[in-house]
Structure 1
């Protein structure tokens, strides 16, 4: 197989989850850190939409983070991240990627969306936090008794939401979610993929 190349941006939550899945699966990959203001021509030639992450491997181009994660886990999934209950995982990720991300963008960049106050966008996103808190009442992880695809796919977005106003997040009643996020951010896997290139 020819060298695998991942075009990435360190702080992008989509790129974070792709990097984590590739590293966990033990896929040797050369990471190209992309400047979003000056995207490399070779990346744009592979994926004209110009968003990260983009994985180029063995003549194949995968330019959706979830598809990159699924590809990586198809190569190697030592701890069983791909749970047998696939529909629940994909449904939760879709809720994150479609609904929660929409509210997160408006909350984080509220000045770009002056139609509503920042607190309105935060409350919209908070409904998803409540759902995650409820899932965590049963166990330490979202859908299993161990880290799975759902946790890794969602955590970078919850992290971003929590970091918009850390004091507010620390004061919320979502104790289980706070603990889940804290444990996630302390994993060797997350720490490794966040090292500055």
Structure 2
């Protein structure tokens, strides 16, 4: 039984060391639990080969053994509680990170939509500029042999086209300010490089479309 008691004391010391080092690894806890159970089950006084002892000594040893077992059980309980608390804390942190990533993704979607609107407006402006150039060329052609009615019509259309360009430029300025506000709201947030990569690929495709 002295050998058995030594095993219990060793297990108790090992458990105390684990607690002091604040191990929270689930495999360490599980393996320790198995070691303690195997040690407890290995005790069989009927097959003990040590010399017989008195009933008083036997009772005293059993009391000491019970104290050791109780100490191990209490220490193990504290270790399990600490591990569960750490797991709960980690889960909360993960939930917080997921929520932040969700909000960032929503902001990235808004930015992406603003970028598309900006591209649409720029495309409209390019079309307006093209029409203006065409009208200017026609006006120059008519300068040598002008027709007052034609010149007035073209001049009126040219003025309307320029007004439309100014309106489109105001829209672009408004969209740009909104886009800067959205991007500024994300500064200092969680890394979203993975999300940006996805949107950047989409933007590259849009740029190629507009270039063509």
Query: Which TM bucket (shorter chain)?
Result: under 0.3
Using the size of structure 2 for normalisation, the TM-score is: 0.25
Q: Decide which structure has the larger Cα Rg and report it.
A: 2
Using the size of structure 1 for normalisation, the TM-score is: 0.27
